[in-house]
């Protein structure tokens, strides 16, 4: 394969949006640094974008830019393709074509990887090229490398991640400024931390894509995103977040994976975690991931999970790995999904109904005698025991909040109890439920 | 070279103490996991220790144990040597011999690497083997891999590390229980978090070894440990730690490296950092490292910095890298010290006198009029301006503490001023000085 003259590796970048521009900046601005470390020049051979304005201000010679991404993939002089277009349309076509040609592909596209993983892995396997995606999870944090390489000798017992900066920013503003969700979202949009259409973020969908990739790497299990329970943050109120604080907890949108004896739990939902937990102190748009291994114990990574330069930093680390493999004539030195295909023993994903954890339940109760006894009765009938109850002061009018924390209970039982409680005539509004995580390692 | 039959890589472990036993446990207990991920068997061929009791309870066949470490190094069937003896005596000989033979060496020996780096690198270069040392800094945290690989495209602007669990444990107990240093040290020894001879830890010496390695990786500068300023924690009092808290700071023993325009700062000393900083929340024996890069921004790693299994986890990650290189016929895929020798442009280490930071100064003043004006006069004469003064309440007898925080000042000027202040007749005792770090990225 061409593109490796002297000590130089040609790279083609598809998509010159925010992250693409960051990659161009690092490859041009830190080019001598990269040369000194990789021992070869990582040559930005072509950058493709359909919008000619995308190249403005980057100082790229016009011979290096094109509006035709396919021509970059087809160029025999370019062995490494960086896909930063995003989405599952043209990006998918280009990634598959590059892999089919045996090229090395670097991508930040978690949606594509999480939804089309088997097809992409099959193309990579057939083509024999490498596939890197450090930038797909956690921006600059070395999540993929740590799971694939650094913790290779560990059985992963659990993962707890704050993997969406938009949600964490919104929750931080609700927590510290007592804003409503709607106002906090608007502030996030004004500050550039939320998209005009924030659905994929606030629904937990983006976090679920990232969790699917982490579960695959940690457990050798290819997960369909449909198997991962997801609940977003738009129903959270400043009241719930402030009650949580009174009990010593913060509320975070967590991606959670846990190994049980014969299965893996994988779920994304707002979660109450103790104040003293490192993840409680992750504020604003920052991301963090706690990985618990049988040998390493608790390991936490913390950093910027999005943005031009942090994401580009991760892409460039993949480019260095790609170049090192090409220069040393090695391919697939580390398996794409961390496990050798033939040895992978996929663990099934546990049904959400089956998980066991503690719960925060807030009820809007009419201020009548006997409410608590009715509620406690329903919980007891479903085998759920209460660890703590706070009945908040009477309000002049309208329902009174009752906040309950439970001991460990099964999700199925809790959902049944909640449905029953919601139908009681003394309950004014849909109960609010927030799951709690507080094992030592959480 | 032999030792790679079928898909199997033979490993010899020298030293079966705490970490050695951990490595044996992972290689035997998680052997199928490692096989599934590396694609080959990492075969524990020999374990050497002069103490036969060291092998007890590990279930090792006697054919696999020896008291003769040299025979393991000389065995042509063993291409990978793990050195876990420690120190700079026999360990150094064995490491050099293994490297001279072109073997791959994995070591956790920061003292050896930090003090004999040029000699060891030269042996590695001539022999052509790999040298890995993930376990030398930060236990299970992927410090070396992150600096060498994940942040390869970043100019490292600064490093801030809590890299000694003994010191952090002692400081945590002083902070939360108001113990004296001596009592806290004793508690640390009782809890197994401090050695019988704790000097290397509490003097900052161990942290300095680790910082020397990090500076080498981050800046391509080979540092003599004598160039790194070091101050330990044994002079710290619960009073100083509690005054620091009143100002909103925690006191940590930090390893600090910063890039200035034409040089690198590298220093180890007790440091006041703001409560809101992630490092302030690192308690007990835990370690953490903040790395600030020009692209990634602030990245934090947090985990267990010592102990049998966390350290073994790091050793095994190196073994997987070693095996992957051998299996794919690659050597020195990543330069040992992160930079290609011929391209490294060493930056000089800034003299401690030249650093500029903020300072906490505590004086034991006799309760007489005019003390503060004398002290302020000396500081002013040395170009040091005060940002805040707290004169603590009178005591029935003895001197009164005066606590000052300064604006940014040059170390040289501060030391001159402190000497002058110490000689004032109104000052009863040697002034206490703690440096402050609070840049946004700290």
pLDDT for the residue A432: 96
B153 in the same domain as B265: yes
Please report which confidence band the pLDDT of residue A395 belongs to, taking 50, 70 and 90 as the band edges.
low
| Tokens encoding A396 | 């002049």
Q: Which residues contact B48 (CB under 8 A, 6 or more apart)?
A: B12, B13, B14, B15, B16, B65, B66, B67, B68, B69, B71, B72
- Name the domain count of chain B: 3
**Do A195 and A227 belong to one domain?**
yes
B18/B127 same-domain check: yes
Same domain, B288 and B262: yes
Q: Which residues contact B314 (CB under 8 A, 6 or more apart)?
A: A150, A296, B108, B134, B135, B138, B139, B140, B141, B142
Q: How far is the C-alpha of B188 from the C-alpha of B165, rounded, in Å?
A: 10
Question: B68 to chain A, minimum CA–CA distance in Å?
Answer: 27
- DSSP per-residue codes, A19-60: HHHHHHHHHHHTHHHHHHHHSSEEEEEEEE-S-GGGGTTS--
Domain assignment of residue B189, given as a range: 143-304
Checking if the pLDDT of A222 tops 90, the result is no
Q: Domain for residue A135, yes or no? A: yes
Contact flag B304-A321 (C-beta cutoff 8 Å): no
What pairing do the DSSP bridges indicate for beta strands B65-66 and B264-274? unpaired
- Please give the mean pLDDT across all residues of chain A: 94
Burial of B262 (0-12, 13-18, 19+ CB in 10 A): exposed
Helix B238-246 with B165-177: angle, nearest 10 deg: 70
Q: What pairing do the DSSP bridges indicate for beta strands A432-436 and A8-14? A: unpaired
Q: Is residue B348 part of a domain?
A: no
> What CATH number corresponds to the domain at position A250?
3.30.360.10
CB pairs < 8 Å spanning A and B: 210
| Of B117 and A89, the one with more pLDDT | A89
Residues in B closer than 8 angstroms to A137, CB to CB, are none
C-beta atoms of A343 and B35 within 8 A? yes
Query: A interface mutation test: which of B138, B152, B332 has the most A CBs within 10 A?
Result: B152
Give the 3-state secondary structure of residue A16.
Answer: coil
Instruction: Please tell me the number of Cα atoms within 13 Å of A56 on its side-chain side.
Output: 4
Task: State the sign of the Cα–Cα–Cα–Cα dihedral B305, B204, B123, A318.
Answer: positive
pLDDT 10s per residue in chain B (442 long)? 444 445 899 999 999 999 999 999 999 999 999 999 999 999 999 999 999 999 999 999 999 999 999 999 999 999 999 999 999 999 999 999 999 999 999 999 999 999 988 899 999 999 999 999 999 999 999 999 999 999 999 999 999 999 999 999 999 999 999 999 999 999 999 999 999 999 999 999 999 999 999 999 999 888 899 999 999 999 999 999 999 999 999 999 999 999 988 899 999 999 999 999 999 999 999 999 999 999 999 999 999 999 999 999 999 999 999 999 999 999 989 999 999 875 456 788 999 999 999 999 999 999 888 899 999 999 999 999 999 999 876 666 788 999 999 999 999 999 999 999 999 999 999 999 999 998 654 3
User: Is the CB of residue B282 less than 8 Å from the CB of residue B252?
Assistant: yes
Query: Do B157 and B216 belong to one domain?
Result: yes
Residue A93 is part of a domain; what is its CATH number? 3.40.50.720
Residue B30 to residue A155, Cβ atoms within 8 A? yes
Which sign, positive or negative, has the C-alpha torsion A175, A176, A179, A182?
negative
Left, alpha or beta for B55 (phi > 0: left; psi -120 to 50: alpha)? alpha
Residue B2: inside a domain: no
Exposure of B62 by Cβ count < 10 A (0-12 exposed, 13-18 middle, 19+ buried)?
A: exposed
Do B157 and B300 reside in the same domain of the chain? Answer: yes
CB B89, CB B116: distance < 8 Å: no
Tens of pLDDT, residues A320-346: 999 999 999 999 899 999 998 754 567
List of residues 6+ apart from A124 with CB closer than 8 A = A99, A105, A130, A131, A336
User: In the prediction, which pLDDT does A3 show?
Assistant: 46
How far does chain B reach from its first CA to its final CA, in angstroms? 47
Which pLDDT value is given to residue B395? 62
pLDDT value for B222? 82
> In terms of Cα–Cα distance, which of B215, B206, B207 is closest to B348?
B215
Assess whether B171 and B252 both reside in one domain. yes
Q: Using CA of residue B318, residue B148, residue B128, residue A6, what is the dihedral sign? A: positive
Are residues A115 and A92 in contact, defined by beta-carbon separation less than 8 angstroms? Answer: no
- At A223 the pLDDT is 87
At residue B162, φ and ψ (nearest 5 deg) are -100, 100
pLDDT at B433: 97
Chain A positions touching B273 (Cβ under 8 A) are none
Q: What is the pLDDT of residues A108-134, one digit of tens each?
A: 999 999 998 889 999 999 999 999 999
**Would you state the pLDDT for residue A391?**
83
Residue B302 pairs in a beta bridge with A300, B288
**Do B153 and B276 fall within a single domain?**
yes
Chain centroid to Cα B148, Å, comes to 16
Supply the pLDDT for residue A344.
57
The b-or-e profile of A409-440 (16+ CB within 10 A means b, else e) is bbbebbebbbebbeebebbeeebbbbbbbbee
- Banded pLDDT at A262 (limits 50, 70, 90): confident
Tokens standing for residue A220 = 């050798």
Nearest-CA distance from B148 to chain A in Å? 8
Catalytic residues of A: 210
Domain identity same for B377 and B245 = no
CB atoms within 10 A of CB B340: 17
Q: How far apart are CA A130 and CA A86, in angstroms?
A: 19
CATH number at residue B359: 3.30.70.260
Q: Which two tokens stand for residue A320?
A: 């260095």
In chain A, whose CA is at the least distance from the CA of B329? A330
pLDDT score of B442: 37
A103 and A151, same domain (yes or no): no
* B210 included as an active-site residue: yes
| A442 domain-assigned | no
Q: Which of B150, B151, B330 to mutate to test the interface with A (most CBs of A within 10 A)?
A: B150
Residues A325 and A283 in one domain: no
CB atoms near residue B118 (< 10 Å): 9
Average pLDDT score over residue span A205-229: 94
pLDDT value at residue A442 = 37
CA atoms within 13 A on the CB side of A117: 24
Alpha helices in A228-307 (DSSP H): 238-246
Catalytic residue among B210, B374, B392, B420: B210
Give dist(CA A14, CA A51) in Å, integer. 12
Mean pLDDT, rounded, for A219-224: 87
pLDDT in tens, A402-416: 999 999 999 999 999
DSSP 3-state assignment of B265? strand
Q: What is the percent of chain A with per-residue pLDDT over 70, rounded to a whole number?
A: 96
Say what the pLDDT of residue B367 is. 82
B398 token code pair: 């003895």
B294/A30 Cβ within 8 A: yes
Asked whether residue A441 is domain-assigned, the answer is no
Note the pLDDT tens digit of each residue in A3-58.
444 589 999 999 999 999 999 999 999 999 999 999 999 999 999 999 999 999 99
Whether residue A298 sits in one domain with residue A156: yes
CA distance B266 to A351: 52
Are the beta carbons of B153 and A320 separated by less than 8 Å? yes
Please answer yes or no on whether B335 and A39 come within 8 Å at the CB atom: yes
Q: Give B69→chain A minimum CA distance, Å.
A: 25
On chain A, the residues whose CB falls within 8 A of the CB of B326 are none
A345 inside domain = no
Nearest CA in chain A to B342: A36
User: Does A346 reside within a domain?
Assistant: no
pLDDT band with cut points at 50, 70 and 90 for residue A2: very low
Q: Could you tell me the strand order of the sheet in which B41-48 lies?
A: B65-66, B41-48, B8-14, B80-83, B104-107, B131-132
φ/ψ of residue A163, rounded to 5:
-120, 10
The H or E element spanning position B23 is: helix B18-29
User: By the 8 A CB rule, do B112 and B131 touch?
Assistant: no
- Is residue A81, in this structure, part of any structural domain at all? yes
Q: What is the C-alpha separation between B300 and B310, in angstroms, rounded?
A: 18
């Amino acid at each position: 394969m061409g593109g490796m003259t002297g000590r130089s590796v040609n790279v083609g970048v598809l998509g010159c949006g925010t992250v693409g521009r960051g990659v161009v900046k690092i490859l041009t601005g830190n080019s001598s640094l990269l040369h000194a470390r990789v021992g070869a020049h990582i040559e930005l051979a072509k950058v493709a974008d359909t919008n000619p304005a995308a190249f403005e201000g980057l100082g790229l010679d016009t011979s290096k830019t094109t509006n035709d991404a396919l021509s970059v993939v087809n160029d025999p002089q370019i062995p490494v393709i960086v896909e930063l277009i995003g989405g599952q349309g043209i990006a998918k076509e280009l990634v598959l074509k590059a892999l089919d040609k045996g090229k090395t592909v670097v991508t930040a596209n978690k949606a594509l990887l999480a939804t089309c993983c088997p097809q992409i892995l099959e193309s990579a396997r057939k083509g024999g090229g490498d596939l890197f995606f450090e930038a797909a999870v956690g921006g600059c944090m070395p999540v993929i490398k740590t799971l694939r390489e650094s913790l290779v000798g560990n059985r992963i017992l659990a993962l707890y991640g704050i993997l969406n900066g938009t949600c964490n920013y919104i929750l931080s503003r609700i927590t510290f400024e007592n804003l409503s969700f709607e106002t906090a979202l608007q502030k996030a949009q004004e500050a550039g931390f939320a998209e005009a259409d924030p659905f994929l973020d606030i629904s937990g969908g983006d976090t679920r894509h990232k969790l699917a990739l982490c579960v695959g790497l940690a457990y050798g299990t290819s997960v369909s995103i449909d198997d991962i329970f997801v609940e977003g943050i738009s129903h959270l109120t400043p009241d719930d977040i402030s009650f949580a604080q009174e009990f010593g907890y913060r509320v975070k949108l967590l991606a959670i994976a846990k190994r049980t004896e014969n299965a893996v739990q994988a779920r994304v939902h707002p979660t109450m975690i103790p104040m003293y937990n490192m993840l409680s102190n992750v504020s604003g748009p920052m991301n963090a991931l706690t990985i618990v291994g049988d040998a390493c114990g608790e390991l936490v990574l913390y950093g910027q999970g999005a943005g031009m330069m942090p994401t580009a930093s991760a892409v460039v680390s993949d480019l260095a790995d790609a170049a090192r493999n090409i220069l040393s004539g090695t391919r697939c030195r580390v398996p794409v999904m961390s496990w050798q295909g033939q040895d992978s023993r996929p663990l099934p994903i546990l049904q959400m109904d089956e998980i066991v954890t503690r719960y925060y339940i807030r009820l809007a109760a009419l201020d009548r005698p006997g409410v608590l006894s009715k509620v406690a009765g329903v919980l007891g009938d479903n085998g759920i025991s209460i660890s703590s109850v706070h009945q908040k002061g009477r309000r002049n009018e309208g329902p009174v909040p009752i906040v309950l924390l439970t001991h460990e209970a099964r999700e199925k039982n809790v959902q049944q109890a909640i449905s029953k409680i919601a139908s009681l005539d003394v309950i004014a509004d849909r109960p609010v439920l927030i799951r709690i995580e507080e094992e030592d390692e959480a």
